[in-house]
Structure 1
Amino acid sequence: MQEFQIDPRLERDSMAIADLGLCQLRLMRDARWPWLLAVPQRVGITEMFQLAPLDQTMLTFEVNEAAKALSGVTGAAKINVAAIGNIVRQLHVHIVARFAGDANWPGPVWGYGTPEPRPEDDSEALARRITEAMAHS
């Protein structure tokens, strides 16, 4: 049986901050937006409908919990949630905090501009605030 492995691009572009049960929750390293990824830890899954029904329910629950925590921590005007996967096929759900006037507002974050590295201490502080918010919800 194959073991779950994160796609190398997701590994490079984000850092793991929590295991939620089904999903590995990751924080994108791009400092332009507070941006999470929820990656179901299932081998070979590229689409939500490929998940077992209980996993589909867990994915929805975990994404919503992460989105609620991200919203509370950042005070975002809008939380964008999407699973696109045209480049990285492994199923992953983007959870992005958006603000009026942020990079490319109100347009999409995907493919816009050049990523700006988030300093490691900023990443760790944001990750801690998000996971603490999730623990208290």
Structure 2
Amino acid sequence: MKFDPTIFSNDDPWFIGETKLSYLILNFDQCYPGRSILVPKAEASDMESLDPDDVGPLMLEVAQIGRHIKSEFKADRMNYATLGNVVAQLHWHIIPRYAGDPNWGAPPWPVRDPRTPSDDERRSTVERIRKGLMALR
């Protein structure tokens, strides 16, 4: 699958925003409220394909966005995953975890109770996360 950055658009209701180095979208499954996906703007299939000068700043963005989501959604822990087994473009799953969530104490997969948010909940979640992106621009 070739990376197509035009899929990241303010017209997409799941699009949260962009930073200098990446795009952020809300994951369709919100069984972990605030769960998002960060996609680097640079076309890369894995960490080893990134320009070495971009690795540090990109990881800083991942951590800053995770910190904001953890604080905003009162998560007990954050999980981060970059797998690339299905989509060949490097991306991170940023997954807030909550004591008592269906997989607490275990990996976030498989999701035991997938949940698509209502339109109002999706809009509210996107706006809450978007607030934290303003500081990264």
TM-score if structure 1 supplies the norm length?
Answer: 0.82
Instruction: Provide the identity percentage.
Output: 30
What pairs up with 1:50-61 in 2 under 5 angstroms?
50-61=49-60
Q: Which residue of 2 aligns with 1:39?
A: 39
Aligned match of 1:90: 89
Question: Is 1:126 matched with 2:110?
Answer: no
**Structure 1 gaps, min length 5:** 9-13
- The answer as to whether partners of 1:39 and 1:93 remain within 8 angstroms in 2 is yes
Structure 2's unaligned 5+ residue stretches are: 8-12
8 Å contact 2:27–2:35 — kept in the other structure? yes
Distance (Å, rounded) in 1 between the aligned partners of 2:116 and 2:71: 23
Match of 1:19 in 2: 18
Partner amino acid, structure 2, of 1:39: V
Matching residue of 2:10: none
**For this pair of structures, how many residues does the alignment match?**
128
Letter of the 1:42 partner, please give it. Answer: A
Note if contact 2:45-2:89 (Cα within 8 Å) is conserved in structure 1: yes
RMSD: 2.2
What is the DSSP-based 3-state SS (H/G/I as helix, E as strand, rest coil) of the residue aligned with 1:85? coil
